[in-house]
Structure 1
Amino acid sequence: MGNLIQLPERKSLIEEYAEFLSSGKSAGTVRAYVQVVRELTEWIAKRPGSAGMFRPEQFTKTAMEIYLNELHKAGYSVSHLNKVKSAASSFAIWLIEEKEVMSRNPTRRIPLPTAPSLAPRELDSEQRYVLRNLVEKHCDLRGKAIFALGFWAALRVSDIAWLRMEDVHIGPKIGWIRAGYKGNKYREIDVVNEVRRPLAEYLEYGRKYKESEFVFTSQRSTRLTEDGIEHWFRKLKSLATKDEWELIKDIAFHDLRHDFAHRARESGWTLEEISYYLGHITKKGTPAISTTARYTQVSRKQLKDKLRLIK
């Protein structure tokens, strides 16, 4: 009947795998890998032929391809799919070399969808309306603050996830934050009232784990992770009506940052100003204009609209 690992025993197997990882990887990486493996093994255990058990022989290339495809359809980013594949590969190698219950790595030679090379997203007025409406109707104080930082301050998911209390300075009428976790390219930016108000309300009334050094916490942790923010955004979109869903189904949280760049450009900001605000800075500390230009490049729709103005 092959090697069987019953569901009640799977936790100890994952703990054993976590202990193996801890000798060579950071605590954060161990947590991320273990979470991926736990979700993957639970998914495999529910497939036909598994009988509610995780069977290493059911951890096949076919299973991995279908699992990644389901994640892709659910709206997970290509970056996240790469993380899942890396963690699954590590787990497979451990099962092969340490547990000796598999002979092949099922993650090898599995292609992943490529990130789109099209112009970065500019939302239209209806998409902005739907998203802001969903936030107003369904979000708690934490959700409203997270959305505001993406939509009105153009912060990356990583910037928000790693934002520390010491980097947030919010007063009655002014507000500024120090952001830039990615690449340690920190910059100090002022924020508009649309950010200051929800952030102030969250910090005063909605924040859990007040002893945490991080601004955003989850129900179970002192830091809300990048995956946690992506999950929250997908859950928010799932609350849309059918016609609303058709407008926002393929919008990712990072698209809010792209849209901010377009709106800033339309408001008269220079590329240098947008570069600084977005954190597009070179190693020499100068604005990375080429990166910002890609964010704000014209779209086919913009040119189509302006064709009508030609006399």
Structure 2
Amino acid sequence: MKAPLDQRCLDLLEEYEQYLLSSKSDQTVDAYLRILRQFIEWIGKCPSDNGIFLMEHLSREDLEVFLAKLQEKGYSSAHQHKVRAAISRFANWLIQEKQLLSQNPAHDVYVPPQAAFTPRELTDEQREVLRGLVERQQNMRGNAIFALGYWAGCRVCDVSWLQVEDCHVGPKTGWITVGAKSGKKRDIDLLEEVRKPLYEYLNSEERKKKDSSFVFLSQKSGHLTENGIHRWFASLKKKAAQEEWELIHDITFHELRQDFAYRARSAGWSLEEIAYYLGHVTKQGTPSIQATAKYTQLNREQIKEKLKQIEEKNKN
């Protein structure tokens, strides 16, 4: 249960929102405020604060503990940097405009660097567990979200910002336009495993009665945010049995996209085809092979299979 924000805090956030809108896009303002609310609500749940956040008590220790909690939950260093930047900007405003702080608590707060990127290829058992969890939940929205990540390799932002007008799905065929947030739109055709759950969700009574340009909605912020998708995926994994949890507890939604690239490569797709489908393109619109290659790195087992093929040819 979230701790309520007191009226003084709400008034300050509203005033800060108007301040940001004078120089930032609506999208950036929305991201900053979501981070601030998450941070403030977390502090409000701490016993020492009695459920009320006082701006004057904003401290470096609060921020460091909050960032550590995010890291424990699997949030990337990039997201932690974004959180620190949002809170630092807010603290500067409290110092300069409201005189509620004497120093910025985010100053020199250390965020550990992101570990070297190693794309993940899931095992057949992990894939089976995840698909089974989705099937057991019997939730149309969840089915469609998972399918877009697992069967279409969509980014979290592609799913979060997907528009109804960009979904061209029918009973038999379907394609969507993704990449609206990044400004690099592309049209991708859908496998039956994606088309069917997306079509069923869009035509469900639950979705039809809601008037919104976004496909996936949220009562809190109008549409399902990227963080909301991460939270949904975390809640899905928590429904796993103990032996299933041990297999999939550390898998992230983004790793569904990485695994899609491996499966596409195994199915015979070229790097250029995978690059196009995943949206790895240069400013000139050509496939970015370098960006895609890291998603389809060879592993030791694959090399062993190639060596066996050489041995078999030599025997013949």
Q: Same fold (TM over 0.5)?
A: yes
Structure 1 residue aligned with 2:40: 41
Structure 1 residue aligned with 2:167: 168
Change (3 A) 1:292 1:9: same
Deviations 1:136-171 (A, max 9, x none): 112510110011011001111111112112211112
Unaligned 5+ runs, structure 1: 1-5
Structure 2 residue aligned with 1:212: 212
Change (3 A) 1:299 1:59: farther
Give the stretch that moved more between structures: 29-38 or 265-274. Answer: 29-38
1:291 aligns with 2:278: no
1:255 alignment partner, SS class: helix
Distance 1:42 1:220 in 2: 14
Distance 2:97 2:268 in 1: 60
Aligned residue runs from structure 1 range 64-143, under 5 A? 64-143=63-142
Structure 2 residue aligned with 1:277: 277
Distance 1:63 1:296 in 2: 40
Change (3 A) 1:225 1:46: closer
Distance 1:139 1:10 in 2: 40
What TM-score do you get using the length of structure 2 for normalisation? 0.89
Structure 1 residue aligned with 2:15: 16
Unaligned 5+ runs, structure 2: 312-316
Give the stretch that moved more between structures: 93-102 or 44-53. Answer: 44-53
2:40–2:53: 8 Å Cα contact kept in structure 1? yes
1:271–1:292: 8 Å Cα contact kept in structure 2? yes
Amino acid at match of 1:183: S
2:112 alignment partner, SS class: coil
Amino acid at match of 2:119: P
Distance 1:69 1:310 in 2: 49
Q: Report deviation, 1:48.
A: 4.9
Structure 1 residue aligned with 2:239: 239
1:214 alignment partner, SS class: coil
Deviations 1:41-95 (A, max 9, x none): 2322333543433234532212111111111112223332222212111111111
2:161–2:181: 8 Å Cα contact kept in structure 1? no
Deviations 1:160-197 (A, max 9, x none): 11211221111221111122235322222111110111
Q: Report deviation, 1:123.
A: 0.7
2:261–2:274: 8 Å Cα contact kept in structure 1? yes
Q: Report deviation, 1:260.
A: 0.4
Deviations 1:199-246 (A, max 9, x none): 110010042564322222123454222122122111111222222222
Distance 1:301 1:139 in 2: 36
Change (3 A) 1:218 1:90: same
Change (3 A) 1:60 1:300: farther
Distance 1:274 1:120 in 2: 14
1:75–1:234: 8 Å Cα contact kept in structure 2? no
Give identity over the alignment, percent.
52
Distance 1:221 1:100 in 2: 30
1:50–1:58: 8 Å Cα contact kept in structure 2? no
1:184 alignment partner, SS class: coil
Structure 2 residue aligned with 1:188: 187
Give the stretch that moved more between structures: 239-248 or 121-130. Answer: 239-248
2:9–2:54: 8 Å Cα contact kept in structure 1? no
Change (3 A) 1:309 1:199: same
Amino acid at match of 1:87: A
2:49 alignment partner, SS class: coil
Change (3 A) 1:61 1:209: farther
Structure 1 residue aligned with 2:147: 148
Distance 1:232 1:124 in 2: 22
Structure 2 residue aligned with 1:227: 227
1:187–1:279: 8 Å Cα contact kept in structure 2? yes
1:121 alignment partner, SS class: coil
Q: Report deviation, 1:299.
A: 2.8
Distance 2:277 2:169 in 1: 18
Amino acid at match of 2:186: R
Structure 2 residue aligned with 1:61: 60
Amino acid at match of 1:170: V
Amino acid at match of 2:259: D
Distance 1:182 1:115 in 2: 23
1:262 aligns with 2:266: no
2:156–2:254: 8 Å Cα contact kept in structure 1? yes
Structure 2 residue aligned with 1:159: 158
Structure 1 residue aligned with 2:202: 203
What TM-score do you get using the length of structure 1 for normalisation? 0.90
Amino acid at match of 2:253: F
